[in-house]
Amino acid sequence: MTQMTTTTTSPVLTATGVTMRFGGLTAVQSVDLNVHPGEIVGLIGPNGAGKTTFFNCLTGLYIPTEGSVAYQGTVLPPKPHLVTQAGIARTFQNIRLFANMTVLENVLVGRHTRTKEGLWSALLRGPGFKRAEAASKARAMELLEFTGLADKADHLSRNLPYGEQRKLEIARALASDPGLLLLDEPTAGMNPQETRATEELVFAIRDLGTAVLVIEHDMRFIFNLCDRVAVLVQGQKLVEGTSEIVQSDERVIAAYLGTPFEGAPGAEEAAEVEAAEAGATTGATTGAPQDETQRGTTARTEDGQ
């Protein structure tokens, strides 16, 4: 009974003081992050900020130099298959599908952690795999329906357009029935229509009871989607909060634009340049104060279709 109470009240993910060093480079530094049941949390930050490295620490691909990662209150061993078995699934920034397998087979392979059969049995299609196949196949087809790929079930995954390969990665990750799904740039390379469809898909995944932690550079996508957003800059968590809070935080804007923020070294000089530019132009926006920039960002997001 105590255990049940703990399970229902604890966050799905608790990352505590996660640090990852590669030799002299600290890619992730003392990052704390919780994800609660029913949440969609965004992880943003400039290129090289440490987002993917943090995911790799969460999923056991890397053993963090310091810190711990717990799923539903239990500390995870840093082994990818044990992390998946525990209930965390992920997609990769660089798509990792079995190119010469069909769409359906790719999802079936993702299912192996939830059947008694092992990965090799699934790949070799041994007798044990065939017995379990009927149930797994039904579930896999369900997931292909869910992600909009059912009519491509028999296609080789390498023949899918890029956007559909990304969707297939999501379907495969869902096949392990995760309680938490980690998405690393799910809309990279997608057109606006595909991005919009992915947004709906992530909402639907959340509505079915899987919490989501998503890395993305597309700010409109992130701010439309996420209940909470954490910003990584040079390996450290700079800000965390609702989309509104993060969008209007001048430090976040500065980190992305690479410009100093108020109080930062060189801020006075930057203000002088800005004032000079404002004086030199007739347009109101070029030399606009920080507030204007922020409002512009918000408006663009709200206007998003």
Ligand X SMILES: Nc1ncnc2c1ncn2[C@@H]1O[C@H](COP(=O)(O)OP(=O)(O)OP(=O)(O)O)[C@@H](O)[C@H]1O
| Residue 19, binding choice from ligand X, Mg ion, none, Cβ under 5 to 8 Å by partner class | none
Q: Between residues 88 and 149, which has the closer beta carbon with respect to Mg ion?
A: 88
Written as one string, the DSSP assignment of the chain is -HHHHHHHHS-SEEEEEEEEEETTEEEEEEEEEEE-TT-EEEEE-STTSSHHHHHHHHTTSS--SEEEEEETTEEPPS-HHHHHHHTEEE--SS----TTSBHHHHHHHHTGGGSSS-HHHHHHT-HHHHHHHHHHHHHHHHHHHHHT-GGGTTSBGGGS-HHHHHHHHHHHHHTT--SEEEEESTTTT--HHHHHHHHHHHHHHHHTT-EEEEE-S-HHHHHHH-SEEEEEETTEEEEEE-HHHHHT-HHHHHHHHT---TTSTTHHHHHHHHHHHHHH-S-TTTT--HHHHHHHHHHHHHH--
Contact track, Mg ion, 20-59, x by CB under 5 A? -------------------------------xx-------
Total chain residues near ligand X (CB under 6 A)? 12
Asked whether position 93 contacts ligand X by CB under 6 A, the answer is: yes
Least distance (Å) from ligand X to the CB of residue 45? 6
Least distance (Å) from Mg ion to the CB of residue 55? 8
Q: Which of the stretches 30-38, 40-48, 106-114, 270-278 binds ligand X when contact is defined by CB under 6 A?
A: 40-48
- The rounded distance, in Å, linking the Cα atoms of 8 and 210 is 14
Asked whether position 94 contacts ligand X by CB under 6 A, the answer is: no
Least distance (Å) from ligand X to the CB of residue 62? 7
Binding-site member from 14, 15, 29, 50 for ligand X (CB under 6 A)? 50
Asked whether position 96 contacts ligand X by CB under 6 A, the answer is: no
Position with the least CB separation from Mg ion: 52
Asked whether position 52 contacts ligand X by CB under 6 A, the answer is: yes
Asked whether position 5 contacts ligand X by CB under 6 A, the answer is: no
Binding-site member from 6, 22, 151, 200 for ligand X (CB under 6 A)? 22
Q: Which of the stretches 43-51, 68-76, 112-120, 124-132 binds ligand X when contact is defined by CB under 6 A?
A: 43-51
Give me the amino acid identity at 275: A
- Rounded to a whole number, what is the distance in angstroms from the first to the last CA of the chain? 46
Asked whether position 49 contacts ligand X by CB under 6 A, the answer is: yes
| Residue 214, binding choice from ligand X, Mg ion, none, Cβ under 5 to 8 Å by partner class | none
- The rounded distance, in Å, linking the Cα atoms of 232 and 50 is 7
Question: Given the structure tokens 């030199």, which residue do they identify?
Answer: 280
Asked whether position 78 contacts ligand X by CB under 6 A, the answer is: no
| Residue 45, binding choice from ligand X, Mg ion, none, Cβ under 5 to 8 Å by partner class | ligand X
Least distance (Å) from ligand X to the CB of residue 197? 22
Q: Between residues 29 and 165, which has the closer beta carbon with respect to ligand X?
A: 29
Residues engaged in binding Mg ion (CB under 5 A): 51-52, 93
